[in-house]
Amino acid sequence: MKNTLIVNYTPREGSTTKKLVDKFIEFNKDRTNITFLDLAKNTPDLLLEENLNLYVNRNFGGVELTAEQSKVLAKNDNFAAQILSADFIVIATPMYNMSLPATVKAWIDAITQVGKTFAFTAEGMKGLCENTQGLVLMTSGSDFSIEPFKSMNHATPLLNACLGLVGVPTENITVFGTQQYADKVEGLIENAKQEIETVSSKWY
Ligand SMILES: Cc1cc2nc3c(=O)[nH]c(=O)nc-3n(C[C@H](O)[C@H](O)[C@H](O)COP(=O)(O)O)c2cc1C
């Protein structure tokens, strides 16, 4: 069986995004080995003074770290290792302030590691995740699929670009407009669930 990593940030009580994750799990639990990473409970380390400099010195400078220094990077390194061993990656998150919840961005900063998940080559940057596919499940209060908000969507493009950088092409299933279309949100969720079935049947 192939391995699927679900990267989940759905802490709100009654979360709409969680309905999509639950559908994905319920539909696929017998088709793939699922590892569930709950970013609201297991939060990556922000890149601050100590760990950022250790990361830069090690990954960009080739400096060998002491065991103690390596421990400082261990948590984020584990997140990077997790994506390297996944065949499929699902990221489920709402849009926050046109972009990603900080915890989800912290996860992106943890997994995007030169020398581990991407490399600089003569042809440019190359993702080191091989044969991995991604799916973004996202909800937002307003409709970001049309203007005036479409050009302000820094959430799905950011995830698609960063996952692309590490070698993971992504598909997106969104429920944009959970508040704007409150009267028809159930139908939008049902459509998204159908799309989850379609992508899942293609994957497994
Ligand atoms: C802190 C915060 C920031 C948000 N920012 C945006 C935003 O920029 N654009 C938007 O359309 N909705 C925004 N929303 C609304 C959520 O994206 C929307 O309600 C989403 O469906 C919530 O997902 P959930 O039910 O899984 O928590 C925000 C909500 C919160 C709590």
pTM flag (> 0.75):
yes
> Is ligand 1 within 6 A of the CB of residue 156?
no
What residues make up the domain containing 48? 3-203
The torsion angles phi and psi of 110, rounded to 5 degrees, stand at -75, -40
Q: Whose CA is nearest to atom 19 of ligand 1?
A: 141
| Amino acid letter, 99 | S
Chain segment 70-90, per-residue pLDDT in tens: 999 999 999 999 999 999 999
Q: Measured between alpha carbons, how far is 202 from 204 in angstroms, rounded to an integer?
A: 6
* Contact of 106 with 144, CB cutoff 8 Å: no
Atom of ligand 1 nearest to the CA of 139: 21
CATH classification at residue 16? 3.40.50.360
- DSSP 3-state assignment of 168? coil
Long-range contact pairs involving 193-199 (C-beta distance under 8 Å, separation at least 24):
193/19, 193/20, 193/23, 196/20, 196/23, 196/24, 196/27, 196/137, 197/27, 199/135, 199/171, 199/173
**Confidence (pLDDT) at 167:** 98
CA of residue 172 to ligand 1 center, whole Å? 17
> Is ligand 1 within 6 A of the CB of residue 98?
yes
Chain segment 34-72, per-residue pLDDT in tens: 999 999 999 999 999 999 999 999 999 999 999 999 999
- Among 15, 32, 49, which residue's Cα sits nearest to residue 132? 32
What total number of domains does the chain contain?
A: 1
- DSSP 3-state assignment of 126? strand
